[in-house]
Amino acid sequence: MNTPAGPPDAVRPYGDTTDDGMVQLSFTLPLPHGPLAEGAALQLARRMGMERPLLVHARPVGTEFSFFVVYGAVGHRVDLDSVRVVEREYPLLSAQEANEAVHEGLGRELVVVGACIGTDAHTVGIDAILNIKGFAGQKGLEYYLSLRVINLGAQVSVPDLVSRALSEGADAVLVSQAVTQRDAHLSNVRELSAELDTAYEGRTRPLLVVGGPRFDPAMAAELGADRVFGRGTTPDDVASYLVHALAEGRPRPTEAAAAPAGPDGGKPPVTGRSTA
């Protein structure tokens, strides 16, 4: 019986045939649609390293812009052993398992305060995680009997969120950010992290959990967050993390004295290629 071969050490994109390196690239140029814009699109693709680029789609966007789709080959390979990813180091729990773990570990409700901060008015993400109706067939955190959830909604200022976290005795602060122009999502989270550090000086700070489609989970330490979730995150992902991080007898933040961080700062492991 033949043993299935493992994954290769390095990969290239697949288009028409194995290892042909074919990719599809879409972009917009600030040029009216026409021959000049199409020539500029092809030249851009070549300068990006694309071999034999083909312009497979072009259309005007208004009168001053043009949208393009270019198809061609790239010569690059990805060494899989050099890929760094955040591994999930905790089990996924059902709502019942999470409730039991919080009851046994904390002996009280786990308090979660969530919001979209700054000018971000997109509540789809925070509602998908917090609202009882949930997302992808999973109930949101409001469904969990062991969790008390305060959803502040959209366009909440950082000082207001920190103040509410203090008054509610929050164990965790959840933030969803969809607006990413000029990296607003990154600056907003850094501002919130700094404000939490100041407000909770001398006490244990609530967990700061961040989510949104443009976040890189490996950026947690850089942003001052405890966990970053990217696209495709579901309520049980977040609930399981909160239970893992908080339901081990951790005291309420407003009552606790600050404790020194461990050697890894409490951040999730960033590892190489998974063998799971």
Amino acid at 114: G
Out of 46, 59, 76, 133, which one is annotated catalytic? 133
Cβ neighbours, 10 Å, residue 263? 5
**Residue entry with tokens 């909770």:** 200
Would you say 150 and 112 are in contact if contact means Cβ atoms under 8 Å apart? Answer: yes
**Residue 139 appears among annotated catalytic residues:** no
Tokens encoding 249:
């007898």
Would you say 189 and 175 are in contact if contact means Cβ atoms under 8 Å apart? Answer: yes
Q: Are strands 51-61 and 110-115 parallel, antiparallel or unpaired?
A: unpaired
Amino acid at 138: Q
CA–CA separation, 146 and 140 (whole Å) = 13
Let me know the angle formed at the C-alpha of 231 by 147 and 150, rounded to the nearest 5 degrees: 25
Question: Considering only CA atoms, which of 101, 226, 244, 229 is closest in space to residue 173?
Answer: 226
* DSSP assignments along 5-69, one per residue: P---SEE---SSSTT--EEEEEEEESS-SSHHHHHHHHHHHHHTT-EEEEEEEEEEETTTEEEEE
Q: Is 111 helix (H, G, I), strand (E, B) or coil?
A: strand
Catalytic residues: 133
